[in-house]
Amino acid sequence: MTGPSKRQDTHGQDSPGRSSNRPLAALLAWLLPGLGHMYLGQRFRGRMILLGTLFLVTFGVLIGGVDVVDMQRDRLWFIAQAGTGPIAFLLDLLNQALLKTASPGTQAQFTSLGNLNSTGTLYIALAGLMNVVVIIDALAGPERAHDTPGRRSTDR
Amino acid sequence: MKFLAWIPFLSPMNWIQSAWYLLLIPLALGVSMIYKAMRVTDIHAYWRQVGVMTLQVVLAITGLAVGLILFVRYIIPMT
């Protein structure tokens, strides 16, 4: 890992780069997955992180319905899901507004059970946990060139 | 007919209940997309590496599942 004001070029050598506000990048990464990397100039990586997170969240809700994000009933799972940032809170809000206030018959129709609920919950929890890794990478990850193809000295 | 009552994003995909284990594939794909976006060194090889990692995850979990099945069906009854 190099210092905060240096980045590695395509040959793994240090070259001066634009100094970035890493804590701001981490905050942006929580607010919208991938935004932190885009802010750091790694636009391709940022776009792929956003695409991957939205893919997991969309699939999770598609599998189990909005019931898979529930801050009150599945609090421990929600802690992991909250890693996706406002997306998880918005889904919980939708769940509370659409399902929890509905009649018992409607709730029974739209509440997912068994493997589908577990799988949908897992999808969004994994998206959240992966975004925690993304946030750490934005905060303290290695300096990279601005989406320039190359190799990190630590990678094979 | 199974799809008629299904409202995407609101009601669960009950029609896939019997083949829920297939949902491992998009899960592995999504995790690989995020992981490789941070880890890949040559962004031109991104999608290839995502495909390789997805395959590795699916094969590893399938192997674990087969191992567990063999353990539960054949090893445990012997003890």
In a domain, B12, yes or no: no
For residue A37, what pLDDT is reported? Answer: 96
For residue A19, what pLDDT is reported? Answer: 61
Rounded to two decimals, the ipTM of the complex is 0.88
In a domain, A1, yes or no: no
pLDDT in tens, chain A (156 residues): 444 444 443 433 333 345 689 999 999 999 999 999 999 999 999 999 999 999 999 999 999 998 899 999 999 999 999 999 999 999 999 999 988 888 887 777 777 778 889 999 999 999 999 999 999 999 998 888 776 554 444 444
Q: What pLDDT, in 10s, does the model give residues B27-74?
A: 999 999 999 999 999 999 999 999 999 999 999 999 999 999 999 999
For residue A4, what pLDDT is reported? Answer: 43
In a domain, B8, yes or no: no
CB pairs under 8 A between A and B: 112
For residue A102, what pLDDT is reported? Answer: 82
Please give the Cα distance from B39 to B52 (Å, whole number): 13
In a domain, A150, yes or no: no
Query: Helix (H, G, I), strand (E, B), or coil: what is residue A16?
Result: strand
In a domain, B62, yes or no: yes
In a domain, B9, yes or no: no
* Smallest Cα distance from A16 to chain B, Å: 19
CB of A152 closer than 8 Å to CB of B41 = yes
In a domain, B2, yes or no: no
Instruction: With both helix axes pointing from N to C terminus, report the angle between A114-140 and A86-95 in degrees, rounded to the nearest 10.
Output: 150
User: Is B2's pLDDT higher than 80?
Assistant: no
Please give the Cα distance from B67 to A147 (Å, whole number): 41
How many structural domains comprise chain A?
A: 1
In a domain, B63, yes or no: yes
Query: Where in the sequence is the domain holding B39, given as residue range(s)?
Result: 20-78
Q: By CA distance, what is A58's nearest residue in B?
A: B9
Distances A5 to A19, A133, A149, A151 between C-alpha atoms, Å: 5, 22, 20, 19
For residue B29, what pLDDT is reported? Answer: 98
Q: Do A45 and B11 touch (CB under 8 A)?
A: no
Residues 6+ apart with CB under 8 A from A109: B11
Please give the Cα distance from A134 to A95 (Å, whole number): 26
Q: Do B30 and A151 touch (CB under 8 A)?
A: no
In a domain, B31, yes or no: yes
Query: Where in the sequence is the domain holding A132, given as residue range(s)?
Result: 6-140
Q: Do B34 and A44 touch (CB under 8 A)?
A: no
Q: Do B27 and A53 touch (CB under 8 A)?
A: no
A3: DSSP letter: -
Residues 6+ apart with CB under 8 A from A63: A112, A116, A119, A120, A123, B12, B13, B16, B23
How many structural domains comprise chain B?
A: 1
Taking all residues of chain B, what is their mean pLDDT, rounded to a whole number?
A: 92
For residue A6, list its beta bridge partners. Answer: A16
| Amino acid at residue number B60 | A
For residue A18, what pLDDT is reported? Answer: 52
Strands (E) in chain A, as ranges, are 6-8, 14-16
